[in-house]
Each structure stands twice: as structure tokens, then as C-alpha cells.
Amino acid sequence: MRSESFLHSVESNFDRAATLLGLSSDLVEKIKIANSTYVVRFGVRLRDGLQTFTGYRCVHSEHFEPVKGGIRYAPYADQDEVEALAALMTYKCALMEIPFGGAKGALTIDPREWEPQELEQITRRFTQELAKRGLISPSQNVPAPDMGTGEREMAWMADEYKKLNPTDLNAWACVTGKPLGKGGIAGRTEATGRGVQYTLQEFFRQERDVKKTGLSSGLDGKRVIVQGLGNVGYHAALFLSQHDGCRITHILEKEGAIVDSRGVDIAALHEHMNETGSIEDYPGFTKSGIEMLEAEADILIPAAMEGIINQDNAARIRTPLIIEAANGPVTAAGDATLRDRGVVIIPDFCANAGGVTVSYFEWIKNLTHIRFGRIQRRQLENQFEALIAGVEALTGKPFPVAHRNEVLSGTTEINLVRSGLEDTMRGAYSAISATWNETDSVPDLRTAAMMIAVDRVAQSYISIGI
């Protein structure tokens, strides 16, 4: 039921945007419905004998190829959820102007129930099933990490694909989110959380948008609730607290919450979680759980599951600004309630697009077979050294050390990745804000973002005569 409501929420937003754009009904149908969904069932001989697993790979739109989308390992994964996530990927890539179609995959499995060597066997068999059907390929279908998967699983998948295609020069581009030693890119692990930070920074540059929340300008001192301290929630909370002066007053996890009005030390809490496996026994722990979404704060960041804010609790949410770090955390009914109450929501397919943006950079790196900045870094460093020497000679004063280091480190891969990510996130949010503020019929940021995305997909079809 949760997955059906998720798909319904995505399609409801699409329908609203398509109506406002005035698209023809046949084109609307073409864009809305998934191109294909594959269900694979395969056996793996493990400790208890032959085990059968069910996996999914949905291709929502091939208006650009390859199609792009993560693979999650979750015990509740099903076809409706995968199709909803694949549709979101189509709109996300279009919104961020990334030349990928949308896809998504899943394996119905709880990865915590299996030993690493068993999980590797399962992942490699799943990769074989995908490869048979062209559902993993540098030129057609490029998976990435999602919930329950990470660098390790992507390395296994890439290695298995390479074994199956030993003469493919670009084989390592078949997935993104790999470890650095296996063709990954600096900054990929932090990318989604970093993108949330960049999006919030841009929101607070838009005075018209901030005014609608009733919040004061700037992020400094803002009280933030983060639901879910996985990879995305952790990095978003860490960067916002360390770089922007936010106070992370509430951290919500499945076993309870950490509450500290002065601001939770995110790095220390994360270390505690790594050591103990939970947030329990950390200062400020309370068994109060999901109701903490309704606590008083300035910004709410749902960063875990879809459907966590719905018709049952939306009326009690007290934060004036929500930024969706997870996919689909607000249902269609919850969204309508919040919109009627004047709560501003930065939608998921904008806010959490940092991951696919940096995945795009990784894919490019793999295809070009060269690390970002490798050719020009020393040449630019020599130029800046000469410039700094000239400034020092003219002024008679030494160039500040901090500024010197910043200037000379400008073309490392991590700096280039972060620069490209910031530019992408800021540009996307700025376009959404303009559509929202300058078009009377657009009720919220979600509709504005969907209108931009759907129009771009529509134009790609129209340009080839569809």
C-alpha cells in the first residue's frame, strides 16, 4: 500500500504539471508510463541450500540514453515502488539537465541477513541476470547505489560486468558510485547530502521564497530536524552544522531520537552509531520516535523513507520549510495539506539530485579515462603562483596563507566535482523559484519543478517527431 501511494503521489504531481503545460493527451501518456519493467528471479546456492531471489529493473524513459538510476536492496521492494522511483529519476535528470533517461532497480532482500561473501554471490548473480537483458551497460543502462547498497556492491557489479565483457574498453562505466580505486570519483559518497546543503543555500538567496516561510534570512542559527542519519542525512546534517551554522536540534532514527536544543554534534553521534550500531545511549536520547517530526524547528529534512509525512500527521508539522532529502517522503495527501497551510517544500527530485549529478561526472570520467584536473592542474598552479608573486611584489606584503592554499588547490578532482555540483544545484533551484514566483497558476515549488522537467522531456520527444 505504501508503494502504491508513492507511485500515486508521483503521478499526481505529474498530472498537475502536464495540465498546466497544456500537453496533448497522447504525449502525456507516453511520458507518464514506464517503458518497461523487468522482473528477474534467480537462484543462488548459499548456506541453507538453493535460495531464490526476486529483482527488478524499470526503465521509465529512454528519451536520453543511457538510462540512469540506483539499485536498492530492501525486503519490501516491489514493482510499484521501483516504477515510482524510476519516474522520479526521469524528472530529476531532466530538471538537472543531465542527459540520462530514468531507471531504477531493486532486489527484495534484507542485506543485514547475509554475510558479505554471500551478499557478493547474490550481487554477482543479479548482475548476470541484468547483463543478459541489456539492463547494465555503459551505453544503455547505468545503475548506482541506493538504499542498502554502496561502493562495495557497485564494485562487485562492475567487476562482474567486466568479466562478462572483457573487451569492452568502457566496462567500468557500467555503474557509478564505485570506490575510487575502481574508477569512482572524489565526492560521490557525500554528493547527495552536499546537494541538499547547496539547495538550501540557494533557497536562502531567494528573498521572495524565504519571505513565504516567515523565516529570517540566512541559514546561521536555523533549527533543523533530520529524520534518518544514513549517508544522505548524515552528510547534510554535518555540512549544514559545520559550514552554515545550523543547529541540528533533532535526529530521528528507528529506535528513537536525539534531542539537543544547542545542536547535536553530528560527527560524534555518527562515530557512536558506527561503534554501537544505534543512537541509543548517546546524550539526549529519547525513545520518542516519529512524532518528533512534529517538533518545533525551522527546517525539516526527511532523509530516510517515502511516505513518512502523510494525511495522518501533515496537519501537525510545525516547521515552515521542508526539504526532501529522501525520495517521496511526503505523500500526495500530505503535500496538499501542507500546501494549504503555507508550508514550503523543496521537492525530492531537486533537493536530492546531488547523487545523480556526481554520478554523471563519474560516468564522464570513466568514458574519458582521465581524472578531472589531471591535465591542467599544475599549469594553473604555476600561473597562480606567478600571479601571487606579482601581487606580493606590488604590495610589499605576503599573500594570506589561507587564500594562497585555496587558490592553489582549486583544480583538484574534489574541488572540481563540488564546483560542478554547486553550479548544477543552484541553477536548478533558481529556475524552479523563477517559475513558481512568476507564473500565477503554479501553486508550489514541486509543481514548478515538475513543469520544467516534463517540458524538457516533452521537447525531446517533439524534436524527433513523436
Cα of 60 vs its chain's centroid, Å = 18
Compute the distance between CA of residue 270 and CA of residue 251 in angstroms, rounded to an integer.
11
Active site residue 104: yes
73 φ/ψ angles, rounded to the nearest 5 degrees:
-110, 115
- Closest by alpha carbon to 130, among 94, 149, 106? 106
What's the CA gap between 177 and 193, in Å, rounded? 14
| Long-range residue pairs from 270-277, CB within 8 A, at least 24 positions apart, any chain | 270/229, 270/234, 270/238, 273/229
Segment holding 165, helix H or strand E: none
H helical segments located in 231-353: 231-243, 266-276, 332-340, 348-351
Count the neighbouring beta carbons within 10 Å of the beta carbon of residue 228.
23
Distance of CA 94 to the CA centre of its chain: 14
Which residues lie across from 247 on neighbouring strands? 223
Q: Can you read off the three cell numbers belonging to residue 378?
A: 599544475
Exactly one of 104, 178, 222, 365 is catalytic; name it.
104
CB-based contact 404:410 (threshold 8 Å):
no
Question: How far apart, in Å, are the Cα atoms of 433 and each of 12, 18, 452?
Answer: 21, 18, 11
Half-sphere exposure of 368 (CA within 13 A, CB side): 14
Positions of E strands within 140-289: 141-145, 223-227, 247-253, 256-259, 285-286
- The residues annotated as belonging to the active site are 104
